Amino acid sequence: MTPPDANHAAPPPNGYDPAGFRPLTFHDAVPAFHAGTDTPRAYLERCLEVIAAREPVVRAWVTLNEAGAREAADAATARYKAGRVLSTIDGMPIGIKDMLQTKDMPTEQGTPLFKGVQTRTDSASVLALRQAGAVILGKTVTTELGMSHPGPTTNPFNPDHTPGGSSSGSAAAIGAAMVPAALGTQVVGSIIRPAGFCANTAIKPSFGAIHRGERLAFSQSHIGVHAGCLADMWSVAFEMAQRAGGDPGHPGLYGETAPRPPARPTRLIVMESEGWSMTDQATAGAFDKLLGQLSDAGVTILRRRDSPLIENFERAIAQSLAICRDVCGYELRWTLENLIERFPVGLSESMMSRLDLARGMSIEDYRLVLLEREAARRAFAALAPLADGLISLSSVGPAPLLENKAKDSGVTHTTGLPAFNAATSVLGSPAITLPLLSVGGMPVGVQVIGQMHGDAALTGLARWVVDSTVPVLA
């Protein structure tokens, strides 16, 4: 692996160019570890050099545990030397979104109310990573309680723009080539959208595929992985799931250690969702050009006009933002009520508006929105015979400016609209975002979407799309 250089240590002078951007990767460094010409400790030190250079502007990290990371990297170095490697991610430096507990660092959840709170407990996913030999480097910035109110992180390709949220720091750390992988969480759009804004490859897996640990209170929260490449993304997800399994009552992530070989789809369905009407012209045009490349490669592209089943699906997901708002608001209410009792002040205006909406919901309202979510899932399952997967944008455009305050469904979104993400969170289906577009010098992701538990097959589809297309600049 080529060590990070000046191209990694500073934002590109002319914004994001897919042809010139080189994300940090790990899998291709491993042969040198086995050969003894490189070590996990040296790899870690290169990561720390990039963090030192870029963190003052990007501000991706809440806490760094450099001493603990160096100790873990030294242990991994010894294992490679002795031929006793624990896993495909042994020695990999990883960032952990600060919504997930870590025994050796505070878990502040993006709010001053939890400043310095240390549970001295590892979340299931973090414990699994440690057991696989990963180097837990630090905690990455999250929005307030993983919702809409932003933290200090900036976009690694232009500091005037948001990195997205709520997995802000994880996405930015990958985009800035600080680490090869980082964990994120998503209940609406918190993995896929920021990953797209920051030129990550990332997965929101099937619901319940990776054990959520303490985040089981949300009925559609997912743990996923941001990475610089598909191979590292899948390795982290797979190694976690092999050790921690899925959520209680769920079978966990299916698949093999490595992503599937490239597999050309016969048919792909374009998922418009609520996002299509909100998408800017340049982004829509770039996406259409990418679809043209797929069509030229022999893939049949289907849209809602091509099948009543697709039209039925689009209608079923047409209110996904509102479904997410109500499901998440109702389920978060009890946490917020307890916080307000302990801390009468300290929650943002955005969070208080969510609470006000939730307080207006009855149990019957919640039951109704669950029925709407289930209807969307049935409509999605009915598409399985029609195509090998779905394809969509990861956002309505490139990352907006930091001061952006878009409002939809009664919620203020300061990190970009999740209009292309709410649907897949409602569905619980796996989605992988790929850095395939550049619009106005900023990254825009394209996501491929599979049926439930089709995560491994989706990696093969994603690999083929990457290998068979040229990123589009607009």
Over residues 343-388, the pLDDT tens digits come to 999 999 989 999 999 999 999 999 999 999 999 999 999 999 999 9
Q: Which pLDDT score is estimated for 157? A: 97
Question: What's the mean pLDDT in 188-192?
Answer: 97
Task: Provide the 8-state DSSP code for 215.
Answer: G
pLDDT at 439 exceeding the cut of 80: yes
Phi, psi at 308, each rounded to 5°: -65, -25
What are the angstrom distances between the C-alpha of 279 and each of 46, 199, 236, 275, 398?
A: 38, 18, 32, 6, 10
Query: 265: pLDDT confidence band, cut at 50, 70 and 90?
Result: very high
Tell me which amino acid residue 133 is: G
CB atoms within 10 A of CB 332: 20
Distance of CA 94 to the CA centre of its chain: 14
Distance separating alpha carbons of residues 78 and 85, to the nearest angstrom: 9
Residue 301, SS3 per DSSP? strand
pLDDT at 135 exceeding the cut of 50: yes
pLDDT at 218 exceeding the cut of 80: yes
Question: What's the mean pLDDT in 88-106?
Answer: 98
> Do 164 and 171 touch, CB atoms closer than 8 A?
yes
Question: What's the mean pLDDT in 237-262?
Answer: 97
Query: 5: pLDDT confidence band, cut at 50, 70 and 90?
Result: very low
pLDDT at 4 exceeding the cut of 90: no
> Do 234 and 203 touch, CB atoms closer than 8 A?
yes
- Averaged confidence pLDDT in the chain: 95
pLDDT at 2 exceeding the cut of 70: no
Distance separating alpha carbons of residues 86 and 89, to the nearest angstrom: 8
Query: 409: pLDDT confidence band, cut at 50, 70 and 90?
Result: low
Query: 10: pLDDT confidence band, cut at 50, 70 and 90?
Result: low
